[in-house]
Amino acid sequence: MRIGVVTFPGSLDDRDAQRAVRLASGEPVALWHGDHDLQGVEAIILPGGFSYGDYLRAGAIAAKAPIMAEVIDAAGKGMPVLGICNGFQMLAEARLVPGAHTRNAHQQFIRRDQKLRVENAGTAWTSGFDAAQEITIPLKNADGRFVADADEIKRIEDNGQVVFRYVGVNPNGSIDDIAGVSNERGNVVGLMPHPEHATEAGFGPDTRAAMASGTDGLTFFTSVIESTLVK
Amino acid sequence: MPTIVVEVMPKAEILDPQGKAVGNALARLGHSDLTAVRIGKRFEIAVDGPVDDAKLDEVRAIAVDVFSNAVIEDVVSVTVADA
């Protein structure tokens, strides 16, 4: 399966996302923000980083990039799209997922191995998880506080669009401990923590079994490949 | 060259950690009667040509679409600066 990873000016984790796709037995395809060409991919990842230096608002300028016209169009037709960290901020700025992001409540950049609960194992990117499964993947951001008004929060909670919730610690003051959300259809998913950094033993979070052995993030990428094959 | 000024503020109900940090600093400096600070953004847009109602409408649309995010911010004003 060909999975596109879009590189923007200031993307940091595009190569890691490509590597994660490869580790999940997919074929990563490098896409460029300035193009109007998705190169026939069947799924798209908007990677983490600091596109345009987080100028204006995190993800705001990238959300207006040329290729985003094609990404928005494909997302509307049901193509799986995953936004990680800065990619999540882009999805929110492009109105592909609900909510917005502000500076962390404590004002500081944070990096930690973060425990999450999978609240919706029915999306294109989470179908390989069990319902309510707890996973640990790295989190690293400054503008990670998920916000939306009370009506919107109720709507997405009722619709099952809250896909991930922080467990143990709310690292940034996100409303209702929300770490990731989806669109109504469930093909577009965004989250602040980084699944692509937990896909290979030796380079992931520590587990009880061994240091750096956590690979919980790999399931994001195997999920999208398997759920697309089933169709 | 005329300039259009757009001001954007975080919504009142949204936590503004930056403003809070500055407010706390004012309290430390002894300004105990200055109780809260909120920090917004000011955009100054130079216009090549006259500023008419159509141009102001164009910038108002940009203010909503690009300069602000309606989930967390309000466009407070769109005005023409004095030459």
pLDDT in tens, A47-84: 999 999 999 999 999 999 999 999 999 999 999 999 99
Contact B7, B75 (CB under 8 A): yes
Chain A residue numbers touching B69 (CB-CB < 8 A): 57, 60, 93, 100
Mean of the per-residue pLDDT values for chain A?
Answer: 96
Residue A211 falls in which region: left (phi positive, over 0), alpha (psi -120 to 50) or beta:
beta
pLDDT tens digits, A168-223: 999 999 999 999 999 999 999 999 999 999 999 999 999 999 999 999 999 999 99
- Note the CATH architecture for domain B3-80: 2-Layer Sandwich (3.30)
How, if at all, do strands B3-10 and B73-80 pair? antiparallel
- A2-230: CATH topology is Rossmann fold (3.40.50)
pLDDT of residue A160: 96
Q: What is the pLDDT of residue B82?
A: 72
- The domain locations on chain A are 2-230
Judge: A60–B17 Cβ closer than 8 Å, yes or no: no
Percent of chain A that is helix, strand, coil (3-state, to 5): 30, 25, 45
* Confidence band for A231, pLDDT divided at 50, 70 and 90: low
Q: What angle do CA B73, B18, B8 make, to 5 degrees?
A: 25
Cβ within 8 Å, pair A100-B10: no
A10 CB within 8 Å of a chain B CB = no
Domain ranges of chain B: 3-80
Distance CA B64, CA B76 (A): 10
Angle at A153 between CA A50 and CA A224, to 5 degrees: 55
Helix (H) or strand (E) holding A68: helix A66-76
- Inspect the interface and report whether the beta carbons of A103 and B21 lie closer than 8 Å: no
Across the interface, of B13, B21, B71, the residue whose CB is closest to A99 is B71
Tokens 């109780």 sit on residue: B35
A93, A6, A10: which is closest to A52 by C-alpha? A10
| Neighboring chain B residues of A102 at a CB cutoff of 8 Å | 10, 14-15, 17, 72
Q: Which residues of B touch A (CB under 8 A)?
A: 10, 13-15, 17-18, 21, 66-67, 69, 71-72
Span A139-176, pLDDT tens digits: 999 999 999 999 999 999 999 999 999 999 999 999 99
Which tens digits make up the pLDDT trace of A23-56?
A: 999 999 999 999 999 999 999 999 999 999 999 9
Paired tokens of B38:
């909120």
CB contact under 8 A, A99 and B14: no
Q: What is the DSSP string of A185-231?
A: SSSEEEESS-GGGSSSTTSS---SSSTT---TTHHHHHHHHHHHHH-
Residue A196 known to be catalytic: yes
Residue A146's closest CA among A122, A169, A171? A171
Interchain CB distance below 8 Å, B69 and A60: yes
| Listed residue (A102, A87, A56, A95) closest to B66, CA to CA | A56
Asked whether the predicted pLDDT for residue A230 surpasses 70, the reply is: no
Give the gap in angstroms from C-alpha A97 to the nearest C-alpha of chain B: 12
Residue in chain B closest to A106 (alpha carbons) equals B17
Mean pLDDT over each residue of chain B, to the nearest integer: 94
